[in-house]
Structure 1
Amino acid sequence: MKAVRWLIPVGCLLLGLTQGLLLPLAAGAQGTSSRAQLFRVGVVVLNSGDTLRGPVQLFLDRDALAVTMPDSTVRTVSAVAVQTFAVRSPILPRSAYYALSRMGNDRARRLRGPQRYRQFLVYRWNHDRPTSNFTSPAFFERLNGGPVLLLRRRYLVERTSSRTLDNYTTPANRPTRPMQVLTTYTDVSDRYYLATPAGAIVALRRPKRDLLAYFPAQAQQLEAFASQHKLSFDTEEGLARLVDFANLLNEPSVQ
């Protein structure tokens, strides 16, 4: 089964998203959790041809969406019923702001996520079980142009950080020993994949190794390109440029 690729005009999709900006965030969609990702603006195109607009909650662990409609009702759909969807304006769980306050600008931008429109496609996938022949429809975020696509599944995960309190006193105003304080916060975990023109999913478990293995004839040129432009094989930006460059090298007109 081949994945859906831009089956609706980009202009129509962005128009729907712009209209979605005018919709209020319904109370029924305000909750977030470590597994759910909430976006203020979303457009979901179903296989039936219907289009849903409103705040979108993405449950990546079960590949389902909950869309808050203009009348405040919530419609839930699974990946098997979805053709494509696009979102913007992510809402972070409250605990994520602890991570933002303690990390550098690069990681903070990564956790906040891009404010541009993000398109998701549906592919049949074995859920990273190499020995299994069973596949089911799953959501993947599209990160480049193609024909070989770079895809991502971004998970919200709970992490724990510890810090030491040196200067504090008890209610009786007696000094105490340093105390370790544990804080739980929300971070992101990205997993990258390639989608072949035939619709197969290739996991990039070790991105550099697996990307070069997929493009063996272009491996030397990809490494030189990464070195010349200071691109990382472990970031969205670096991988997207490298996959696009590999696609360019594979074009028949390029010698």
Structure 2
Amino acid sequence: MFKINKLFFYFLILLSFYFINGSVRAQRVDIQEWPKGRVVLTSGDTLSGPLTYHRTEDIVRVTLKDGSIQAYAPVNVVSFTVSDGRFSQTFKPYMWNRGNDYSDYKAPAFFEQLNEGKYSLVKRETIVRRNMNTGPMYAGYGRYYDPYGYGNYSRYVEQVQDLFYLHTPDNNIIALRRPKRDLEDIFGKKNKEMKAFISANKLDYDNARDLVVIVSHFNQISQ
């Protein structure tokens, strides 16, 4: 009797993991909300209120004082700024080929503005799906290991990944897929000076804050 109850207990635990996992998967991690937002439209109007940004659809929605919700695509927006009470972020639309390096077709898309200048570091976020391995070697590393084999269904988590770009003076968006190599190609004659600055300040091309410092310094010396 004890063994039956024990197995039933394990079954309930595994069942709860199934529903929790299903609930997490059902959530839209590509949607971000802020309690305060301000949208400047191409028409010249400015709207303020709680703001929701749908990354996948590239749509921003603002809730007005009367409770109505207005949705705007990048083509209708000059910029939008959001705040959670501690930090603020600014997003602007830029003409972009959607990462297709072999296409001349460009359409406006929202990018987060990390700095401004002759060259601007901008960012987009994408959703990546990572499988949760159920093998015993992964137990204890934040993944759930099911020793009874009840978890044969697919498990995965969706995570937000930062993608960095450079907006150039000729209004192009360059993907920084390999930030060090890509930026050194842009530094040109200033490459030696930039290398000395990066080394002296122990800056890392793979660190977002350091990237802002690197691009900002390049703007200063290339004026």
Contact 2:30 2:160 in 1 (8 A): no
1:234 is matched with which residue? 206
Between the aligned residues of both structures, percent identity stands at 34
Measure the CA separation in 1 of the matches of 2:207 and 2:150.
Answer: 33
| Deviation for aligned residue 1:236 | 1.4
- Find 1:67's aligned residue among 59, 62, 65: 62
Write the deviation string for residues 53-111 of structure 1: whole angstroms up to 9, x where unpaired: 11211122232111122222211110000011111229xxxxxxxxxxxxxxxxxxxxx
- Aligned pair count reads 187
Assess, with a 3 A threshold, how the Cα gap between structure 1 residues 158 and 54 changes in structure 2: closer, same or farther: farther
Tell me if 1:247 matches 2:219. Answer: yes
Measure the CA separation in 2 of the matches of 1:32 and 1:66.
Answer: 18
Contact 2:29 2:160 in 1 (8 A): no
Measure the CA separation in 1 of the matches of 2:73 and 2:118.
Answer: 26
Query: Which structure has the larger Rg?
Result: 2
Q: CA RMSD in A?
A: 2.5
Which amino acid letter does the alignment assign opposite residue 99 of structure 2?
Answer: D
2:115 is matched with which residue? 144
The runs of 5 or more residues in structure 2 that have no matched partner are: 1-25, 141-145
1:120 is matched with which residue? 91
| Deviation for aligned residue 1:226 | 1.6
Tell me if 1:55 matches 2:50. Answer: yes
- In structure 2, the residue corresponding to 1:48 is in which secondary structure? coil
1:195 is matched with which residue? 167
Assess, with a 3 A threshold, how the Cα gap between structure 1 residues 126 and 36 changes in structure 2: closer, same or farther: same
Superposition pairs for residues 1-255 of structure 1, below 5 Å? 33-89=28-84, 115-162=86-133, 163-164=138-139, 177=147, 184-251=156-223
Which amino acid letter does the alignment assign opposite residue 31 of structure 2?
Answer: A
Measure the CA separation in 1 of the matches of 2:199 and 2:221.
Answer: 17
Contact 2:123 2:165 in 1 (8 A): yes
Which amino acid letter does the alignment assign opposite residue 138 of structure 1?
Answer: A
Contact 2:35 2:83 in 1 (8 A): yes
The runs of 5 or more residues in structure 1 that have no matched partner are: 1-30, 91-114, 166-175
Measure the CA separation in 1 of the matches of 2:101 and 2:195.
Answer: 27
Contact 2:53 2:61 in 1 (8 A): yes
TM (norm. structure 1) is: 0.66
Contact 1:43 1:87 in 2 (8 A): yes
TM (norm. structure 2) is: 0.75
